[in-house]
Structure 1
Amino acid sequence: MKPPYIITNEIVTLVASISEKIGEINASHLYKPATELRRKNRIKTIQSSLEIEGNTLTEEQITALLDNKRVLASLKDILEVQNAIKIYEQLNSFNPYQLKDLEKAHKILMCGLIDNAGKLRTTNVGIVKGSKVEHIAPSGTMVNGLMRNLFDYLKKDNDLILIKSCVFHYEFEFIHPFLDGNGRMGRLWQTLILMQQYPVFEFLPIESLIKQKQNDYYNTLSESDKKGNSTPFIEFMLEIILESLDGLLQSQSITLRTEDRIFLFKEKIGQNTFSRKEYMQNFKNISAPTASRDLKWAVEQNLLIKFGEFRLTEYQFK
């Protein structure tokens, strides 16, 4: 059964704006940031997602843990970060459309933190904030069936992936399928779903914007609970995604080096042969001499094989 939500004019407008920004990002070759920026964004993502759940480690401390340095903090906080680092290192190995992969990811994320990591709950739970019960999750006996229905929707529904990722995130939090770790898993899985169609989301620190708007995040989850559909949450998350993409475009005045251009083109062209002209069409701001220098460098580095001479010259990646 399809989860309840309405595609409003606001959602349509946000999806159009996001698609436009993704087009700009792809045209500017920002979809795969440089290694240092990828690392920085990943640290920011881990720190933000865990801070939302009460973890106290700073970006500097997480950087130290990534570098295998000693950090003074509670063992629980350190273990949460170490587990999150493992998950993000393996992100591309998970299939977002498989429930067993979600369970496997939860087991890694919560290993050593709870007894039944990776297992769907079978008991009843309520979410308490302060002295108030914020949300009573569906009965433990319903969890398995609800999660299977949610994955069926994700796999089979024809709505745009941008919308389905937000619906999945909300429904996941509503079902609350695990005894702990649901918040970080819901955010992680939305990223994983988006990555399948838009590689830029692998290194986009959406979590840091959610952290900045943490009260709005929880209020919108509550609003969707009260309305009985995920529409308010879809609108909120699409705004967050748009803001993240805007931030990437504004902060990255990118200057690609020879090496950057060659490896970006390798990802696009694969094993197909190509000419200098085809290479230049992919990087519209470079001159013919620059393209020639790039390709000469790649041949010298043993990355490319060169066939023919002059106008008949073609190349192929090894």
Structure 2
Amino acid sequence: MSRYRPPLTLTARMIALIAEISEQIGQLSAVDDNRQTPQLRRSNRIRTIQASLAIENNTLSIEQVTAVLAGRRVLGLPKEIQEVRNAFTAYEAMPQWQPANRSDLLRAHELLMQGLIDECGRLRRAGVGIYRGDQLVHMAPPPSRISALIDDLLAWLDKSDWHPLITSCVFHYEFEFIHPFADGNGRMGRLWQTLILSQWRPVLAYLPVEAVIREEQDAYYAALSAADRMAEATPFVEYMLQALNISLREAIGSESVTDPVTDPVTDPVEKLLLTLENRSMRTSELMVEIGLTHRATFRNNYLKPALAVGLIEMSDPENPKSPTQKYRLTDLGTATASSLKRK
């Protein structure tokens, strides 16, 4: 049996973050069962997928990812559209897997990379270096060592008595250090950390921490590099705990989470639905009608949440940035608007 134990220094910052995160998980769990609707969970899953793929240079927007998963045509690179479909399939299959099971790890990679690389679901057979621009930032272990390193890491994960928050972050770092696959290692590491956390607290299965990482992408890579230089996961663990902390704070503060299950629509989305009833309108027309002047506020609080849960749709989803783009209610949006009017 392997006695491998990843090097880590427990810091006061980690302990403080674990305490804060645990408290926030309790708050989120208290409202999750009664108030997190299937629409909200789907919205968070879409945010997770879009952000995780964006970190890997996928250019599709939230609106385009939503359209792809709704089966609508989207003007985008076939590879990027395939990445979205694969990622959704993989995240939906997540409850079937055991984090320490090698076969499950390979199956997850196969789903995530199907049709994108030849070696999907198989450990890499060639050397690989990780570059940022022209600079080599990490030379991964040679392929001859990959199988043993992964087995050691999974054996440690299976027996680890560390706090699950620490364990998941350490696994994420060690996985990225090994870089076991020819491609898809970043998205696999983030997927597997979510799997580990979701088996500890199910509410974390839909926490879009990837969106926080996407916003702080330079810090993410800097934490990986710092951990490499120190030859231990400590800087990366601190970074990931902070990202989880921020994501939980945003989830708890979200209007969507605090709304009752019988009314999953936020006030801005409700206003948008009632404005759009029986007509199609451009962004500029909607903003005038609603009384807004700040385009970012309109997109973040009104447009994106309604698109993400399928309450509205674009008149031209293949060209999301078209100057003639209009928005209209879907069948679900029409039914929701009618329900809102009867309240």
Residue identity in the other structure for 1:158: D
Partners of 1:258 and 1:76 in 2: CA distance: 39
Deviation at 1:89, TM superposition (A): 1.9
Residue in 2 aligned with 1:288? none
SS of residue matched to 2:130: strand
Q: Does 1:135 align with 2:138?
A: yes
1:243 maps onto 2:246 in alignment: yes
Quick check: 1:186 aligned with 2:196? no
| Cα separation, 2, equivalents of 1:175 and 1:138 | 6
Cα 1:153/1:31, change in 2 over 3 Å: farther
Q: Please tell me the residue identity of whatever aligns with 1:163.
A: I
Find the aligned partners of 1:107 and 1:129 in 2 and give their Cα distance. Answer: 26
Shift of 1:151: 0.6
1:105 aligns with 2:108: yes
For residues 201-220 of structure 1, what are the structure 2 equivalents within 5 Å? Answer: 201-220=204-223
In the superposition, relative to structure 1, how do residues 170 and 153 fare at CA in structure 2: closer, same or farther (>3 Å)? same
1:31, 1:199 within 8 Å by CA — same for their partners in 2? no
Rounded Cα–Cα distance in structure 1 between residues aligned with 2:185 and 2:31: 35
Distance 1:32 1:178 in 2: 39
Scaled by the length of structure 2, the TM-score of the pair is: 0.73
Gaps of 5+ in 2: 265-343
Cα contact 2:36–2:261 (8 A) shared by 1:
no
Check if 1:41 corresponds to 2:78: no
Separation of aligned partners in 2, 1:69 and 1:174:
38
2:260 to 231, 256, 261: 256
CA contact (8 A) 2:179 2:185 kept: yes
Matched with 1:148 is: 151
State yes or no: 1:233 paired with 2:229: no
TM-fit CA distance, 1:254: 2.1
CA 59–258 in structure 1, closer or farther in 2 if over 3 Å, else same: closer
**Which structure ranks higher in relative contact order (CA pairs < 8 Å, sequence separation ≥ 6)?**
2
Cα distance in 2 for residues equivalent to 1:140 and 1:207:
28
Q: Which residue of 2 aligns with 1:52?
A: 55
* Structure 2 residue identity aligned to 1:256: P
Q: Secondary structure at the match of 2:131?
A: strand
Alpha-carbon contact 1:168-1:190 (below 8 Å) kept: yes
**Which blocks of at least 5 consecutive residues in structure 1 are unaligned?**
261-318
* Percent identity over paired residues: 47
Distance 1:32 1:225 in 2: 41
Higher radius of gyration, 1 or 2:
1
Could you say if the C-alpha distance between residues 132 and 259 of structure 1 is closer, same or farther in structure 2, counting changes exceeding 3 Å?
Answer: closer
Q: CA deviation at 1:134?
A: 1.1
Residue 90 of structure 1 aligns to a residue whose secondary structure is helix
Task: Measure, in 2, the Cα distance between the counterparts of 1:206 and 1:80.
Answer: 19
| Separation (CA, whole Å) in 1 of partners of 2:34 and 2:56 | 29
Q: Say how many residue pairs are matched.
A: 260
Which residue is equivalent to 1:24? 27
- The structural deviation recorded for 1:257 is 4.6
Equivalent position of 2:120 in the other structure: 117
User: What CA distance in whole angstroms lies between the structure 1 residues aligned with 2:184 and 2:260?
Assistant: 39
Corresponding residue of 2:165: 162
User: What's the CA shift for 1:156?
Assistant: 0.5
1:161, 1:194 within 8 Å by CA — same for their partners in 2?
yes
Give distance in 2, aligned partners of 1:149 and 1:210: 27
* Cα separation, partners in 2 of 1:31 and 1:192, compared to 1, 3 Å: farther
- RMSD value over aligned CA atoms? 1.7
